């Protein structure tokens, strides 16, 4: 379906957003995201988007233009929206809830310097 030429690009984009992207971002609300994770997600997304649009990297078509053709947004923006939505849910929880308590939790003491000693 994603590469079927009989299906419009907008419909392929909707299918991608609902099936592929949701699988890629499953549980992302709680990921400790680093820059290299974001880059890996963007590369994977653009690889699928170019495959769906039947464009090669050598075609020199901008990623933004391909996303517009499919009617989808950047995966990093969706990731940030998911994380902010989850944070809003946590903030609205009662003060006695264990999840909300963990936001304000501070670890007492300090860790020793260097690598842990082998036992």
- Please compute the mean of the pLDDT values over residues 14-42 and round it to a whole number: 90
Q: How many domains does the chain have?
A: 1
Asked if the structure places residue 115 within a domain, the reply is no
Task: Report the pLDDT averaged over residues 17-45.
Answer: 90
pLDDT for residue 6: 79
More confident site: 39 or 3: 39
Q: How many CA atoms, within 13 angstroms, populate the side-chain half-sphere of residue 75?
A: 27
- What percent of the chain has pLDDT above 70? 100
pLDDT band at 56 (very low <50, low <70, confident <90, very high): confident
Let me know if residue 60 belongs to a domain. Answer: yes
Burial class (CB in 10 A: 0-12, 13-18, 19+), 77: exposed
Domain hosting 27: range is 9-103
Domain membership of residue 1 (yes or no) is no
DSSP assigned state of 48: H
Cα(41)–Cα(54) distance, rounded to whole angstroms?
A: 20
Query: Does residue 118 fall inside a structural domain?
Result: no
């Amino acid at each position: 379906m994603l590469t079927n030429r009989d299906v419009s690009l907008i419909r392929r984009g909707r299918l991608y957003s609902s099936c592929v992207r949701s699988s890629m971002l499953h549980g992302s609300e709680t990921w400790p995201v680093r820059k290299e994770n974001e880059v890996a997600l963007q590369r994977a997304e653009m690889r699928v988007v170019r495959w769906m649009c039947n464009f090669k990297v050598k075609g020199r078509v901008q990623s933004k233009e391909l996303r517009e053709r499919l009617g989808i947004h950047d995966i990093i923006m969706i990731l940030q929206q998911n994380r902010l939505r989850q944070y809003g849910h946590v903030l609205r929880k009662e003060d006695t809830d264990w999840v909300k308590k963990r936001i304000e939790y501070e670890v007492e003491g300090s860790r020793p310097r260097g690598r842990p000693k082998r036992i």
